[in-house]
Chain A
């Protein structure tokens, strides 16, 4: 029962992330949708797979290594993309920009 709820939750969160990439106005807000929804959705699906699979506990623990790697790498890549876009010259649509105050 719990694994079906987790799987549906992961799918729904992934769907909202894809919708956010289409609807948000600029690069940085789209990165918000991509990072958070991908990490949360992948976590939900991995937990559901751990519960579904019938195998000894050591084999299930390999999924936890995968979850740890996703949780470390996903925010790092989004940080690299955001910084690279700012350095390249993509202007954010924001109310206040303290990064531009310090760098120009």
Chain B
């Protein structure tokens, strides 16, 4: 890549961006599936917030959330990968992926609280800012990954930069262990990136 002349390099980058864009467009969900997904999420929220199961209430909620979902279908589900049947995927997400993620994050949050308490008592800190790379491209995926990194022990996300071959994150690490990008990425991201790559683009 470094031997390519500069006038060809620009062309090559434009071409690669187009390939990425077309791949993204091809792997999006079809419109009616997006409406159904948004409707399911909004209906759950309505039932939880209103807090009653009378038929009148449920019918009103269903009609209103269906109208909102028809307008707002791209807001929530733009970045979800297409794979398999939608009912199957919803059941998989609700009963396997989501509990897995919640259990992982709950134990990491507990560990990070104990680690901060240890750091406060002994003051054995060695901070540094490192740069790691992820393969996620979409806004939702990168947002959830950055939030998860902030809640894992000893790391804080400073900034996000999007490049063509992936997304780069700058991490403030309170106990610096390695400067190598691959090793640091493996230590910081853990298995959350693998989990997110199954769902988001």
Does A associate with B in a complex? yes
A interface vs B, CB < 8 Å? 13, 16-17, 19-20, 23-25, 28-29, 31-33, 35-37, 39-41, 43, 56, 58-59, 61-62, 64-65, 71-72, 75-76, 78-79, 82-83, 86, 92-100, 102
Contact call A13/B147, Cβ cutoff below 8 A: no
Q: Is the interface of A mostly helix, strand, loop or mixed?
A: helix
Those of B125-162 within 8 Å (CB) of chain A: 125-131, 143, 146-147, 150-151, 153-154, 156-159, 161
Q: Contacts A35-B150, A61-B48, A99-B129; is A13 near B113 (CB within 8 Å)?
A: yes
The listed residue (A36, A79, A93) touching B116 by CB distance below 8 A is: A36
Interface centre among B120, B123, B147, B151 (most CB of A within 10 A): B120
Size band of the interface chain B makes with A: 35 or more
- Expressed in whole angstroms, the Cα–Cα distance for A41 and B113 within the complex equals 9
Those of B23-82 within 8 Å (CB) of chain A: 45, 47-49, 51-53
- Expressed in whole angstroms, the Cα–Cα distance for A78 and B128 within the complex equals 17
Contact call B129/A17, Cβ cutoff below 8 A: no
Q: Separation in Å of the A76 CB from the closest CB of chain B? A: 7
Q: Contacts A32-B156, A82-B156, A92-B172; is A43 near B109 (CB within 8 Å)?
A: yes
- Chain B residues with CB under 8 Å of A28's CB are 127, 156, 158, 172
Contact call A36/B127, Cβ cutoff below 8 A: no
Q: Is the interface of B mostly helix, strand, loop or mixed?
A: mixed
Q: Contacts A31-B156, A36-B113, A79-B146; is A23 near B127 (CB within 8 Å)?
A: no
- Chain B residues with CB under 8 Å of A78's CB are 150, 156
Contact call A40/B113, Cβ cutoff below 8 A: yes
Q: Separation in Å of the A50 CB from the closest CB of chain B? A: 13
- Chain A residues with CB under 8 Å of B158's CB are 28, 79, 82-83, 86, 99
Q: Contacts A79-B150, A94-B128, A96-B130; is A62 near B109 (CB within 8 Å)?
A: no
- Expressed in whole angstroms, the Cα–Cα distance for A79 and B156 within the complex equals 7
Interface: B110 (CB within 8 A): yes
Q: Separation in Å of the A85 CB from the closest CB of chain B? A: 9
The listed residue (B53, B125, B151, B154) touching A39 by CB distance below 8 A is: B151
Contact call A16/B129, Cβ cutoff below 8 A: no
Question: Which residue from chain A places its CB closest to the CB of B130 in the assembled complex?
Answer: A98
Q: Contacts A32-B174, A86-B158; is A58 near B129 (CB within 8 Å)?
A: no
Interface centre among A32, A76, A78 (most CB of B within 10 A): A32
Q: Contacts A40-B110, A40-B112, A65-B48; is A75 near B151 (CB within 8 Å)?
A: yes
Q: Contacts A28-B172, A36-B109; is A75 near B146 (CB within 8 Å)?
A: yes
